[in-house]
Amino acid sequence: MPTLETSFLGVQSPNPFWVASSPLADKKINVTRAFEAGWGGVVWKTIGEKVTNTSSRYASMDQHSEKAIGFSNIELISDRPLEDNLREASQIIQEWPDRAVVLSLMAATKRESWKELVKKAEDTGCHALELNFGCPHGMNERGMGSVVGQDPEIASMITEWVVEASSLPVVVKLTPNVHSVVPVGRAVVQKGCSGLSLINTIQSVMGVDLDTFIPYPRVGEQSAFGGYSGPGVKPIALKMIASIRQDPVTSRVPASGMGGISNWRDAAEFLLLGASNVQVCTAVMKYGFRIIEDMCEGLLNWMEEKGFASVQDFQGKSVDKITDWENLDLNYHVIASIDQEKCINCGICYIVCEDASHQSIRMIRDESSSSPNRYEIIEEKCIGCNLCQIVCPVEGCITMYENRRGPPLTWKDLQRK
């Protein structure tokens, strides 16, 4: 059988699934439950300056019958006493020697503040430090959170302070609230950080109550911009982890990936795009810690099917599959095909192709049939956009088959002609 054992910055864990810095990792009882369920590691909820959290603090975006495809929070770092967090983290480290425990830190932009916090964190015996440069709400006015992660100069300065003060691996958690994560990533790598983690939450407004006119989550008669997470952010997170792995500077250090991971398939995608391990939060907030069982079983079965003996065997295999648009083969072409045996004659493919695409599906009326409308692809008009396949409610009914137009040809080739 393959093994899920992984090493991130020399920190060993029995599997690549870690609990992200969040309310899930705010106290000993939560972390104990996570480790009893089988999670490989945990990043403790960010500790540092004393804060007071609000009530309420969470909101979600639902889609039809699916709850919380997007999740938002205005929660700050841990509001528990620093000493309590440090004591309980130390206890966890002693009681679970085979699991990874990383402490997430946030301090004011002062060298002494960071130096003092680093010393207290190291005394717990933790395996690494994660610098929270990403909180998108409630800390920026104090010179912390994403205001740090959006400025390469400030981020690199603080990273340098921590690297000088610490004997442990230092991980910088990047904010997605930038045009690109690469500049800040480069800056902190050049100042000596050992690794990166991404993404933190995305600044957002989850919605507005149409009766009270107050955005969610409501705190009295007001709200605030929150941090967006959950399945809806996964495509953004995958793009950013791939950008980090493709860059020659940021790819020099390992990266921990997070953002919308809900099952083993999501995790495999992050690992294929170069993450060394993954962190999970929102999915546990929806379903509980026991989801780790399906995650481990699913990933192991897939690895065995593909012939991978370890996570490292497939880590990063998809990174070089992403290129600039001008390098894509313009003569590669696909055409849709409808399996008439599977078709339920709903007509959704026809409607969207008529209204939103290239009028490449014909409707054939048959008044003698109980299903009077039949749909066929007009092959000479089909551009292979995938839209009909995407909206079809029947799995496998519409497939795309290759119909190459000629030898490989890129935009760069055309420009040279």
Domain ranges of the chain: 6-321, 325-416
Cα–Cα dist 208/196, whole Å: 35
Report which of 111, 98, 107, 91 is spatially closest to residue 50, judged by C-alpha positions: 107
Q: What is the reported pTM?
A: 0.95
Q: What is the C-alpha to C-alpha distance for residues 152 and 147, in angstroms, rounded to an integer?
A: 10
User: Quick one: 6-321 is in which CATH superfamily?
Assistant: Aldolase class I (3.20.20.70)
3-state secondary structure at position 340: coil
* Residue 265, SS3 per DSSP: helix
Residue 395: closest CA among 343, 336, 345, 350: 343
Beta partners for residue 335, in sequence order? 401
Q: Examine the residue annotation and report whether 281 is marked as an active-site residue of this protein.
A: no
The phi, psi pair for 283, rounded to 5°, reads -60, -35
Rounded to an integer, what distance in angstroms lies between the CA atom of residue 28 and that of residue 46?
14
> In degrees, to the nearest 5, what angle opens at C-alpha 279 toward C-alphas 278 and 280?
125
Q: Tokens 């959950």 — which residue?
A: 230
Yes or no: say if 401 and 417 are a contact pair by the CB < 8 Å rule.
no
Single out the residue of 371, 382, 374, 393 nearest to residue 337, CA to CA.
Answer: 382
Active-site annotation holder among 135, 296, 343, 353? 135
Bond into 217 cis (ω within 30): yes
Same fold, 6-321 and 325-416: no
Separation CA 177–CA 148 (nearest Å): 11
Tens digit of each residue's pLDDT, the chain (417 residues): 899 999 999 999 999 999 999 999 999 999 999 999 999 999 999 999 889 999 999 999 988 888 889 999 999 999 999 999 999 999 999 999 999 999 999 999 999 999 999 999 999 999 999 999 988 876 776 677 788 999 999 999 999 999 999 999 999 999 999 999 999 999 999 999 999 999 999 999 999 999 999 999 999 999 999 999 999 999 999 999 999 999 999 999 999 999 999 999 999 999 999 999 999 999 999 999 999 999 999 999 999 999 999 999 999 999 999 999 999 999 999 999 999 999 999 999 999 999 999 999 999 987 776 667 899 999 999 999 999 999 999 999 999 999 999 999 999 999 987
- The two beta strands, 277-280 and 17-19, are parallel
The dihedral over CA atoms of 64, 67, 71, 75, expressed in degrees to the nearest 10, equals: 140
Structure tokens at 324: 């600039």
DSSP three-state, residue 97: coil
What angle in degrees, to the nearest 10, is found between the helix axes of 234-246 and 182-190? 50
What is the CATH topology of the domain spanning 325-416? Alpha-Beta Plaits (3.30.70)
CA-CA distance, 261 to 235, in Å (whole number)?
10
Task: Tally Cβ neighbours within 10 Å of residue 90.
Answer: 16
Please report which residue ranges of 273-362 form alpha helices under DSSP H.
282-287, 291-306, 348-356
Instruction: Please give the Cα distance from 187 to 133 (Å, whole number).
Output: 13
Q: Give the C-alpha separation, 148 to 113, whole Å.
A: 15
